[in-house]
Structure 1
Amino acid sequence: MKARIPAMRPGLLPAAILTALLPVAASAQAQDAADGATTLDRISVTGSRIRGVQIENQQPILTVSRQDIERSGHTSVADLLQNIPSAGSPAISRADALASGENVGGYYIDIRNMGANRTLVLLNGVRLGATTGGYQDLSQIPMSAIERIDVLKDGASSIYGSDAIAAVVNVITRKRFEGAEASVQYGQFGQGDGAETTYSGTVGVANDRSGITVSAEVMEADPVYGGDRFFSRYGNAGPDYPGSGWSAVSQAGSWQNAAGEWVTLREGGNPTNAADYVVLTPAGYANSNEQMLVSTGMKRESVFSNINYDLTDRITLNADILFNKRTTNQQIAGYPYQSLAFDTPLSGDSAFNPVGEDIEFRRRLWEVPRTTRSELKTTRFSGGVSGFFDIADKPWDWDVNYAYNRNEVTKTGHGDASLLATAQALGPSYIDAAGIAQCGVAGVSDPSLAGCRPWNPLLPYGVAGQGSLANADVQDFLFPYYTDTGETKTKILSANLSGSLFELPAGDLSMAVGIEHRKDEGRFVPDAFAQSGNYTGLAASTTLGEYEVDEAYIEFNVPILSDMAFARELTVNVASRYSDYSNFGDTINSKFSVLWRPTDAMAVRGTWAEGFRAPSIDNLYGGTGASFEQYTDPCSVGVPGSVNGNAACNAAGVPVGYVQLGQGLEPCTAWPCQTPDQFISGSNPNLGPETSESITAGIVYSPEFVDGLDVSVDWYRYEIENMIISDSVNRILRDCYVIGDSSRCAGVVRAGDGHISNMFYGLTNLGSMKTEGWDIGLKYRMLDTAFGGFQFNWQTTYTSKYETAAQNAAGEDIMVGQVGDPGIFRVKSNFNVNWSINDDWNVGWTARYYSGINDGCVANRPCSDSDRYAYGETAPRNQLGSNTFHDFQVAYTAPWNATISVGVDNVFEREAQIMYSGGNVSTAFPYYPEFDIGRFTYMRYVQRF
């Protein structure tokens, strides 16, 4: 972080912007009147603030055109971008049904696998609003409104500020559209599920001075259930090992008898007769995947409008207005209720108790799956005035803009039990004179039990009887609806000026300068039950905070050589941005890029850039959250480096010979092992910004001897320091019990049996990341032949390095390579062939290739590399093969100005290999947003008027 420099007060910045530019506007109007100037086409590009500069040649930029959008079957921007080779696997997607919190339901893009909140998303050059966690939702932009999408695969904090570490995605919308266009698309998987329906329309009027374009879209997608796919039907075990790894917390219900056995009611047995219970075997375990989703359902309704008007030939008024409503529906299996975890045994005085004394039980709440309905409303306005003028015959552009973005989120949850209600429903109860079970003690009036309904957790799913969880009254009493609410606001005021300073021998020296003031504020308020912890869901608390930032930047584009031997062009571009945050201070980030054209057919380019990501509102002011963590307890026997029996473990009350307990309080057999209890994590108001450095270098070649051929090769390297991460559970346990740092033990709570029942760990700037690789592109446009025109496009990303800071079994902090780990493919490649026939027919074929995955080894499952040793410890793995998915589309342009398209994604219904260590949603399939879960067939009709 650089030394702090006094910054302009936020309240003065807007006035300063207007004061600086009003004379410019007045001067331009006067010049119009005097000269009768005509409007010129001012070209704006992504990656530079200098209009008209061909920055796409200096930096690696991928453009997705309107034609590319129409030739795909995708119905959202994120789905479209997810298939580009440089895109990674975002942590939150429709494939992640287990995710919870404010961000769930959004569509995010993660370039280079560096995190979705490290890719900045712009809409017409202005950043989108973000959640309190810093995530920018691409689903709010209707596809029908988009003209093109630019993806700058490079750091650009010097131009755009925070979050532009890995890349910048700039969505450019259609403007001055004339006429009308309506379309409908329907598709579904070959299994008959996952149907998607999209209705969209665009209408516009335009003339020489103004234009209004309005696009509206309604998209609805049905969910896909885990029980309807081969890879998820049986959980991680896969179809070859059904039943293996299923949960002992079964929907049949079980309780622990005096012999320590977990017993369940036999078929046809009497639930109040202890003799009718038999030992629960794995055959009766729960397969939670029967109730899981592998793809969530959603509905999106959006309207986008662009209005622009030429006030004069040199001044234009422009405004974007967006409204979006997104509803997402998630479902996961009923909660695995364990009475010991909540101190709610079935009372010995319960009418359903078979032994007459308090008993501990387990019961998956199968009758009421956990569901979450997330509704997000987005209101956005972005508008401003832009223009241009001449100084000494040199053109200058200016603009003043204001943007306002508001996100309102409401999440309604159901299926988590109220612990206040379960304590009553499991307490004393009796059968009244009418034969109806009642809460309390017979003959004793207790007003606090009004509305209480007794629950019999030992009654298996599907078995009728008093206290059944299938009873509507019991469900209404135990399962309230929970509502979380949130709101984020972003306000941006900016001003920019760019133009040519003077002429050098090789061309004009151009510059851009600008200032910006931004205010982000947000809150997310979980339901009162979540805040109090009085329910079976994950505990959470309120996130509330805001910050402001004042920024100023300057950029120069300097031509050095031109029209010389071996130097048709040599240009450098330098930029620097100063950012002053109200929460952590200030920072300066710079960038340098160079373009050298030795010949007209070849360009050599390179960039060096600094970047940063400011901590989000959630990072700084978030409350606490809960999760079930995977960890290795060094006080357990059987783990590498066990210290069971040492002074620190003994002082914590860990028995000698203790074996770490996992889900269901069963002894772990493999590590890391998942805790049976929620661990708590929290924010840190003292966090600083993440910092990064990126370098790219590449060649673009269009040989004159092959007309229509373009080849590009770019090398990239990124390093992130001070990365914001959660303090590692394993790191805390190592420091506490292995190293003996007692100060690190304060957040660790152990139960009487020795297992960790609660733990707190917060955020810290201790992380780091390094990634390196190559982007290779080849495009060929074949001249028209007797068979039509052909276009070939082959894009590949090769990741040679991807490392993050982690700890090995010895507790050493090291950089661990993850290339080939789930989601981080060494090679991602797309090959597309497009065939156009007489401008009426268009046929497209795309092959999407993903290299193999390294799966963790699991006992009694295939393990191809069992003797592997890496980073100071044994690291066996099972290597899974590569996958290629093929997509096909044929489109016909009808004489009545319509286009009819039929397409199939995953034509050959490719099924990826089984992943026994767990892919997504506890399934045996390495399912990421880019992997297909079946053959998807769609039809689209577009009518133009």
Structure 2
Amino acid sequence: MDKTRLSRAIKGAIAAAAVTSSFSTVSIAQDAQAQVEEIVVTGSRIQRATDANSATPISVFDAAQLEQSGQTTLEDFLQDVPSMTGGQLGSSVNNGSAGLATVSLRGLGSSRTLILMNGRRLSSSGGATGVVDLNTIPTSIIERVEILRDGASTIYGSDAIAGVINIITKKGFEGAELTASYGSSTHGDGDEYLAAMTFGTGNDKGHVMLNAQYTKRDEIGQGERNFSACPLREIGGNVVCGGSATTTPARFSPASSSDQLIVDPVTGNVRPFNAATDAYNFALASYLVTPQEVASMYGYGTYQLYDWKDVTTVNAFSELSFVNRRSDQLMAAEGTFWGPVVPVTNPYNPLNEPVNIGRRLEETGGRAFTQDLNTWRGVVGLDGEFCNEWTWDLSYNYSRWVDSQIDRGRGNTVRFENLLDPVACANDPECADAVGATGVPAWNPFASGTLTPEMQNYALVTNSPIERSSLRSFQANLVGDFGDWALTGEAPAWAIGYENRAERTEIVPDGAAEIGQIYFVNGDAWGGNYSVDEFYGEVRVPVLEGRPWAQVLAFEASFRYSDYSTIGDDTTFGFVAEYAPLDELRFRGTYSEGFRAPGLDDLFLTPTVSAETYADPCNEYGAGDNPNVIANCQADGIAPGTTIASTQATGLFGGNPDLKAEKSESWTLGMVWTPSWTDDMGFTVDYFNINIDDAIGTLTTNTIVKGCYESPNFSSPLCSLITGAPSVGTSPSPDAPTRRASDLTIAGQLLNSQNVATFETSGVDLGFDYSVDAGPGVFSVNLSATYLHEWKYRGSSEDPTIDLAGYFGADPVTTAIVAFPEWKFYGTLGYEYDCWSAFTTVRMLGAVDDFDPSPADLATRIDTTWYQDVNFNYFRWENLKLTGGIRNVWNQQPPYVTNNDDMNTLMRSYDTVGRFFYGTVTLQF
């Protein structure tokens, strides 16, 4: 029985590619004489022998390794790979994921990591963000996963700046396979279920495979773990429970002062609000791990239509899939956040004047978010081989994604104002019925438990937006070689191709949100689309072969021309060199240009208004200030020493149709050593460096104002982003109508997406793979690690450059607090004998320090964190396989960090579930 999906025939390529997980050495021993075939390796369209060493750094994982990890989902498996760093957004994240599962190579963001299936793009599953939801790829159809740890825009186009993840599905599977899996945490929660069925059959003319899979994950509440049971605060050197100042009963402030008050729930008297004792514990109404269910169907088929031996073969192929995902998040109850005013006529108003309230609607149990997402994908095509062994393929790829969302527990702004105003409520029959059922004239927000079910039915609304996205793509590829024009035994090879691609996104808001009646929900409908025509070409030229101190010397070059309907045209180039002075020693290097076209949200997102706090350079300026500031403030009619009372300006956020593409340059330089005294060892080391310019980001109000006023005579381009008073409906200043309002404040700024940011990251990937006979069985070891030398970000030319390597802090890509350890390690030891096998995996994240600590902070360093997993397999009767294991054997708890309200830890970097047991049964027929 074949216990892995990769044979020894591809072992050389795998070792050279720095494989980051162990292989089944039993299969290696059994398949030593496997016939060498030609495949297409991710990162090139040119076919090459599978025992040839790759010239680009690639990690390869097979289905057995995914199973050995004990992970039910592809996202959890990939996020442990050392080259994944920074903010990894998993589907289990409660706040911000919407059930979306993504990965981020080099920590540069999921939008800069291209996801492919069988070398073709997948539809965006994140709406307008352009990212792919890994939930749409069932694990039971995966044959292997190839991770190209290098830029590949010349081969695959936009988004491949950090690299490419190519999921290769099973194609030659024959028979039937049934799989059932169950797992649960040591606390008895967070249960995971998987059931899958795969059927395949074929003959000399064709093959078909069908698959169905169902997975389910149960929720874990934040209150179920001690580390996340309440948001922690550090007061006087002690760690205590804290929470939100928008609480129940309401915190309020009178119109005549800024006092923060509350009605004491015990005495009923008005007293000052005490954050230490009155705060709302929002953790108890939040998930630690979110629940989700995913059901999928997948089919693949191929059939030989013609075999004209003297001309070409023609094969038809098709790939069809449907995935339904239902995911849920639960977050703290809605808050009014000073929106409504309690009038004097409200009988429960404790003051003789109107008051603004911050009241948590705790009676509702929290805000519940549900996504019911359907993804359809179909690929049809033809491929074949000419008599001269040139290969060709034509394919059409269409996919569609629809997300029907339901957000419960939202407040209708108008109706809550009615509930607080007895007069307005009496004039609204529905409001009158809601309060009348409880025998009170209005809602009392100054006490707990007063928002009755009748009031909730009246004032709460369900927000039900719909998001749609579609992708259409046509591809044509031709691959061949120059035959007798060879300088060595290997002929120069080439590939050319064309692709036409179009993508469309549409956001349809809920009716109440569209008219602005739901608290803090942007209700504007919007959409956008783009199309692109692309041509690419690549060539590989072997120069020397089999010479003393030059066993291999070869060069590769590639280009891609892209013409977008949104941003115009662009051309990128890439170069590869490989040199092997000895059969066992190989050096490789790459240079590639990359680009990322702006996403549809970057271009077309409807503008929204926000109040932004800033430091005004003209406030009380004097002779000692920057001369440009003095001159510009005087030009605005502001005299020295003038006090500008307001520190807020209106900011307009949204898309920008004038964006251009992000540009990148990537370098890699590596070495591969495969000792001649054994066929079962490989060692790799690869240096990488990625620079991104014109990265899409958003400028802050302070950056705009500071940069503008410090430039001579308002010459900075930043000045054009100050839109002035008329755009926000306030009266303009007579001296500076385009910059200042009549009260001298900066009245409005354009804070939409701009090409302003830069990234730079570099480091070293290490890999070691070895297997050896040991006693009656085979022992294997695989070690992989990434050293992160630098991870630099600059928000704009006006901002300082920050380097997060070795620190934890706010991720510029996701804005979440995450870790960027200098060292990330993944190692597996295995032993296989007869029908038994056992593996243990060690995962490590290096120590990190707080990037921006305060002297009083108690937790400013996270020590090196280790996890250990174990996996056991037993084969019986040639068709039964039993698997069991434990993830996080020692129940390693996530680290506590200061002032991170979301679980008090870095949930996007560290394990929050704890020890997890699982078991799997597989039957094959």
TM band (smaller chain) = 0.7 to 0.9
Question: Which whole-Å CA distance do the structure 2 matches of 1:78 and 1:117 have between them?
Answer: 15
Matches of 2:666 and 2:612, distance apart in 1:
33
Alignment CA distance shift 1:446-1:460 (3 Å): closer
**Which string of whole-angstrom CA distances, capped at 9 and with x for unpartnered residues, describes residues 758-811 of structure 1?**
97510011111111110000111112x22521110000011101111137xxx9
Alpha-carbon distance between aligned partners in 1 of 2:639 and 2:837, rounded to the nearest angstrom: 71
In the TM superposition, what is the alpha-carbon distance from 1:594 to its structure 2 partner? 1.3
Of residues 255, 260, 263, the one that matches 2:261 is 263
Task: Please state if 1:936 is matched with 2:925.
Answer: no
Cα distance per residue 1:230-270 (max 9 Å; x no partner): 33223243798454653222122233357764333334556
Residue matched to 1:308: 302
Q: Identify the residue that residue 545 of structure 2 maps to in structure 1.
A: 562
2:597 is equivalent to residue 614 of structure 1: yes
Please say which of residues 531-540 and 315-324 is displaced more in the overlay.
531-540
Pick aligned residue for 1:526 from 489, 509, 514: 509
Shift of 1:656: 5.2
1:277 aligns with 2:277: no
Q: Secondary structure at the match of 2:154?
A: helix
Match in the other structure for 2:676: 704
Which residue does 1:926 correspond to in 2? Answer: 906
Post-superposition shift, 1:932? 4.2
> For residues 125-524 of structure 1, what are the structure 2 equivalents within 5 Å?
125-130=119-124, 131-237=127-233, 241-243=238-240, 246-256=243-253, 261-267=259-265, 276-281=269-274, 282-313=276-307, 314-339=313-338, 342=339, 344-355=340-351, 357-368=353-364, 369-391=366-388, 395-429=389-423, 440-441=425-426, 453=435, 456-461=443-448, 463=449, 468-469=450-451, 471-503=452-484, 504-506=486-488, 507-524=490-507
Distance 1:256 1:216, change over 3 A: same
Aligned residue type for 2:871:
Q
SS of the counterpart of 2:467?
Answer: strand
> What does residue 535 of structure 1 align with?
518
Q: What is the CA distance between 1:285 and its match in structure 2? A: 1.2
**Cα RMSD between the aligned structures?**
3.4
Residues in 1 aligned to 2:922 and 2:635: alpha-carbon distance in whole angstroms? 70
**Contact 1:95–1:929 (8 Å) recurs in 2:** no
Residues 199-249 of structure 1: CA deviation (Å, up to 9, x unaligned): 111111122221111111111112222222233223243798454653222
* AA at the equivalent of 1:280: F
SS state at 2:458 partner: helix
Post-superposition offset of 1:97: 2.3
Matching residue's letter, 1:484? P
Partner of 1:20: none
Q: Is this contact kept in 1: 2:192–2:215, CA < 8 A? A: yes
- CA positional deviation for 1:96: 3.7
| Match status 1:48 vs 2:44 | yes
Q: Which residue of 2 aligns with 1:767?
A: 757
Pair 1:77–1:91, CA change in 2 (3 A): closer
Match status 1:795 vs 2:775: no
Shift of 1:633: 7.5
Q: Deviations over 1:59-83 (max 9, x none)?
A: 0010011211121211122211111
1:895 corresponds to 2:877: yes
SS in 2 for 1:416: strand
Rounded to whole Å, the distance in 2 between the matches of 1:380 and 1:558 is 37
- The alignment partner of 2:537 has SS state of strand
Q: Quick check: 1:93–1:929 contact (8 Å CA) kept in 2?
A: no
**1:303 & 1:527 partners in 2: Cα distance?**
31
Separation of aligned partners in 1, 2:211 and 2:742: 62
Q: CA deviation at 1:487?
A: 1.0
Residues 137 and 603 of structure 1: is their aligned pair in 2 closer, same or farther, counting only changes over 3 Å?
A: same
How many Å apart are 1:134 and its aligned residue? 1.3
Paired residues, number: 838
CA drift at 1:924: 1.7
Shift of 1:850: 0.5
Q: Judging changes above 3 Å, is the alpha-carbon distance between structure 1 residues 916 and 905 closer, same or farther for their aligned structure 2 residues?
A: same
Is residue 719 of structure 1 aligned with residue 691 of structure 2? yes
Aligned to 1:436: none
Tell me which of 799, 803, 806 is aligned to 1:813. Answer: 799
In 1, distance between residues paired with 2:425 and 2:880? Answer: 71
1:77 equivalent in structure 2 = 74
- Tell me, what secondary structure is at the counterpart of 1:476? helix
Residues of 1 paired with 2:778 and 2:535: CA distance?
48
Map 1:639-654; keep pairs closer than 5 Å.
none
1:756 Cα deviation after fit = 10
Paired residues of 1:411 and 1:484 also in contact (CA < 8 A): yes
What is the rounded CA distance, in whole Å, between the counterparts of 2:869 and 2:328 in structure 1?
28
CA distance in 2, matches of 1:755, 1:916: 35
Task: Give the Cα–Cα distance (whole angstroms) in 1 for the partners of residues 409 and 672 of structure 2.
Answer: 56
Deviates more, 1:844-853 or 1:522-531: 522-531
Partner of 1:87: 84
How far is the alpha carbon of 1:94 from its aligned partner? 3.2
Q: Structure 1 residues 887 and 58 mapped into 2: Cα distance closer, same or farther (>3 Å)?
A: same
Quote the offset at 1:191 in angstroms.
2.1
SS of match in other structure, 1:311: strand
Q: Which ranges in structure 2 are unaligned for 5 or more consecutive residues?
A: 1-34, 308-312, 436-440, 731-740, 809-818
Q: Report if aligned partners of 1:182, 1:942 keep a CA contact under 8 Å in 2.
A: yes
Unaligned runs of 5+ in 1: 1-38, 271-275, 430-438, 662-676, 865-877
Q: Distance in 2 between matches of 1:338 and 1:48?
A: 54
Letter of the structure 2 residue corresponding to residue 716 of structure 1: F
How far apart are residue 428 of structure 1 and its match?
2.1
Q: Deviations over 1:426-464 (max 9, x none)?
A: 1125xxxxxxxxx645xxx55685766465343433x4x
Find the aligned partners of 1:652 and 1:207 in 2 and give their Cα distance: 88
**For the residues of structure 2 that align with 1:647 and 1:427, how far apart are their CA atoms?**
48
TM-score normalised by length of structure 1: 0.82
Contact residue 83 and residue 930 of structure 1 kept, 8 A: no
1:650, distance to aligned residue in structure 2 (A):
11
Check conservation: 2:784, 2:826, Cα contact below 8 A: yes
C-alpha deviation, 1:910, in angstroms? 1.2
**SS class of match (1:175):** coil
- The alpha-carbon distance between structure 1 residues 451 and 621, as it changes in their structure 2 partners (threshold 3 A), is farther
Partners in 2 of 1:929 and 1:375 — Cα distance? 27
Label 1:738 to 1:589 Cα distance change in 2 as closer, same or farther (>3 A).
Answer: closer
Cα deviation for residue 311 of structure 1 reads 1.7
Q: Structure 1's 631 and 386: CA in aligned 2 closer, same or farther, altered over 3 A?
A: farther
Q: 1:455 to 1:243 in 2, by over 3 A?
A: farther
Instruction: Decide whether aligned partners of structure 1 residues 266 and 927 sit closer, same or farther in structure 2, where only a CA change above 3 A counts.
Output: same
Q: What's 1:885 paired with?
A: 867
Of the three residues 567, 577, 581, the one matched with 2:560 is 577
| TM-score, normalising length: structure 2 | 0.84
Identity of aligned residues (%): 28
Cα separation, partners in 2 of 1:581 and 1:889, compared to 1, 3 Å: same
Distance 1:623 1:236, change over 3 A: farther
Residue 531 of structure 2 corresponds to: 548
Paired AA for residue 613 in structure 1: R
After superposition, the C-alpha distances for 1:678-701 in whole angstroms (9 at most, x for unaligned) are 965200001111111111110110
Secondary structure class of the residue paired with 1:338: coil
Change in 2 beyond 3 A, CA 1:419/1:62:
same
Matched residue, 2:843: 848
Change (3 A) 1:185 1:608: same
State the Cα distance separating 1:551 from its structure 2 match.
0.9
Compute the displacement of 1:48 (Å): 1.1
Is 1:905 the equivalent of 2:899?
no
- Whole-angstrom distance in 2 between the partners of 1:287 and 1:678: 31
AA aligned opposite 2:405: K
